[in-house]
Amino acid sequence: MKKFLITLFTFLFLFSTSFAGVTTGYKYGKGPLKLTQNTADILEFYFSGGKQGAYAEKQVEAWKPGLIAISSDGSDFSFFRHPLRIDRIDSKHYAGIAISQCKKRSGQECFLFANAYKIVWDNGSDKKKRKLKFRDIRAGKTLALLNELGFYDGGSTEITKSEPQKIKKKVEKSTNNNEDIVKKLKDLKDLFDNGALTEEEYKKAKKKILN
């Protein structure tokens, strides 16, 4: 019984210190937010513990979503994952760190988007629905849920264009594809540097992007 109470205290203490930023004044996002395709893919990776989405890889050690901050334009992010096993305790304010790293990367204001499976960014959508269910995440519904909540449209909005505009769009698309690869590689490197990916996972994901 004593061992159980010590384990429970350790677990609660970790949440009250390592992730204290969520409850000690760090800003939640508020207002409209449209995620880019890449950020939506990262969120699918984050909520699924790295097992789903464009960046999915077999995880050497299982983990759960911790905290994620997203820039005000929805194009950049920084997150921390939560280990399933607790082997050390520290007093770092991970929410503040995530916000600071996101701001440094994007050059924009960043705010907390989610704490574990709960989306704390208030865009006016149903608060109860913003607490994602693991069974839905496991079923591959993350992007659909983000769409339903109004955070993501998948870039599906299109309008009829004249032929010259279509040609221009094709040229721009080719350029954007190259830029997208560069951004994905940068994001992947940042994930590796932040400890979200192992070296083996990083190399496999990099090869996947370049191919």
pLDDT digit string (tens) for 108-120? 999 999 999 999 9
What average pLDDT score do residues 140-158 get? 83
Ranges 8-12, 135-139, 158-162, 194-198, most confident: 135-139
CA 114, 115, 118: angle at the middle one, nearest 5?
A: 70
Q: What is the 3-state secondary structure of 170-185?
A: HHHHHHHHHHHHHHHH
Token pair, residue 155, equals: 């870039």
139: Cα within 13 Å, side-chain hemisphere: 8
Stretch 156-174: mean pLDDT: 45
Q: Most confidently modeled of 48-57, 159-168, 173-182, 199-208?
A: 48-57
